């Protein structure tokens, strides 16, 4: 009975949404080919070398909006990610201290896992993924990419190692929980430094280039022959470290999660 009610509610919502679109809330037939005024302002001013009053020093408009025009949104998003991972650590931290309960299930050594071909291919792929993700993260102010894209692409690499070897092998090779946590904290400290440095000059928080009314001269956009996009390159690198390491922490925590309640989960393999 209630399932029919849900279906009718869903149908009403769908029809109402279509009516909203037709009535012009999302754009009418006359304005199909144009965008909103704020978007046009961002596009005009993001790399405007002629009038540097509001420019962001980066030809990539999306990264400029993420870290310059709406930078505080991104800082709080990093905080939300941090809080979620803190919750996961709170749920599973006891499992990191307990030793492995049954030696058979947990003690897969370095030689176990999938076949030799898969393991050899994984070694090559790991290096390639690392270089690609670092490239995507560091070039975030010239080409599409940025900190989050680089961090998410980097997270595929430890996943391959977990699948081909085992989580214990990855931990023993050096991706332990403590080390990833330390690297993540280093990334967060770097982020805080870049965000708060303009305050030393009595400028604005998270200021990228020189703005009217602030004595901070801005991070350099062109340093001799190099093109650094202001503060965007440092912010992207810090965010790459934070996101990549947080994913490794989540994978390790998921592996030790069933040690917490005394091995109570009788799951299916």
Q: According to CB under 8 A, which residues from 223 to 262 bind other proteins?
A: 227, 243, 247, 250, 253-254, 257-258, 260-261
CA–CA distances in Å: residue 36 to residues 27, 33, 67: 10, 10, 20
Alpha carbon distance 42, 62 (integer Å): 9
Q: Which stretch binds other proteins (CB under 8 A): 145-153, 185-193, 196-204, 230-238?
A: 145-153
Residues 18-47, one symbol each (x = binds other proteins by CB under 8 A, - = not), give x--xx---xx-x--xxxxx-xxx-xxx-xx
State the sign of the Cα–Cα–Cα–Cα dihedral 201, 203, 205, 211: negative
For 138, counting Cβ atoms within 10 Å of its Cβ (0-12 exposed, 13-18 middle, 19+ buried), the class is middle
Q: Minimum CB separation from other proteins for residue 215, in Å?
A: 28
Nearest to 166 by CA among 113, 119, 126: 113
Residue 149 vs 238, nearer CB to other proteins: 149
Alpha carbon distance 225, 114 (integer Å): 48
Contact 192, 242 (CB under 8 A): no
Q: Which stretch binds other proteins (CB under 8 A): 81-89, 109-117, 185-193, 205-213?
A: 81-89
Half-sphere exposure of 133 (CA within 13 A, CB side): 24
Q: Does position 62 bind other proteins by CB under 8 A? A: yes
Residue 85 vs 194, nearer CB to other proteins: 85
Contact 244, 150 (CB under 8 A): yes
Alpha carbon distance 176, 166 (integer Å): 13
Contact 95, 258 (CB under 8 A): yes
Q: Does position 96 bind other proteins by CB under 8 A? A: no
Alpha carbon distance 185, 178 (integer Å): 11
Residue 20 vs 189, nearer CB to other proteins: 20
Residue numbers 172-211 binding other proteins by CB under 8 A = none
From candidates 77, 98, 109, 179, binder to other proteins by CB under 8 A: 77
From candidates 57, 149, 231, 248, binder to other proteins by CB under 8 A: 149
Q: Does position 109 bind other proteins by CB under 8 A? A: no
Residue 177 vs 254, nearer CB to other proteins: 254
Q: Minimum CB separation from other proteins for residue 240, in Å?
A: 12
Q: Minimum CB separation from other proteins for residue 40, in Å?
A: 6
From candidates 118, 125, 156, 186, binder to other proteins by CB under 8 A: 156
Residue 14 vs 182, nearer CB to other proteins: 14
State the sign of the Cα–Cα–Cα–Cα dihedral 121, 243, 39, 142: negative
């Amino acid at each position: 009975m209630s399932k029919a009610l849900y279906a009718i509610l869903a149908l009403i919502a769908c029809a109402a949404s279509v009516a909203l679109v037709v009535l012009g809330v999302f754009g009418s037939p006359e304005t199909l080919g144009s965008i909103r005024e704020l978007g046009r302002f961002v596009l005009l001013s993001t790399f405007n070398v002629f009038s540097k009053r509001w420019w962001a020093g980066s030809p990539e408009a999306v990264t400029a909006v993420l870290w310059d025009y709406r930078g505080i949104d991104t800082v709080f998003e990093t905080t939300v990610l941090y809080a979620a991972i803190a919750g996961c650590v709170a749920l599973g931290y006891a499992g990191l201290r307990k030793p492995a309960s049954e030696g058979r299930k947990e003690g897969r050594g370095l030689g176990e896992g999938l076949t030799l071909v898969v393991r050899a291919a994984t070694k090559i792929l790991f290096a390639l993924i690392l270089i690609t993700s670092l490239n995507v993260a560091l070039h975030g102010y010239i080409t599409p990419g940025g900190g989050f894209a680089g961090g998410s692409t980097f997270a595929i690499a430890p996943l391959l190692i977990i699948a081909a070897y085992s989580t214990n092998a990855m931990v023993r090779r050096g991706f332990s929980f403590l080390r990833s946590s330390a690297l993540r904290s280093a990334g967060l400290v770097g982020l805080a430094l870049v965000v708060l440095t303009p305050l030393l000059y009595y400028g604005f928080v998270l200021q990228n280039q020189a703005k009217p009314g602030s004595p901070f001269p801005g991070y350099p956009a062109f340093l001799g022959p190099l093109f650094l996009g202001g503060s965007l390159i440092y912010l992207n690198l810090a965010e790459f470290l934070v996101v990549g390491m947080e994913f490794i922490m989540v994978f390790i925590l998921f592996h030790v999660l069933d040690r917490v309640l005394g091995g109570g989960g009788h799951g299916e393999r």
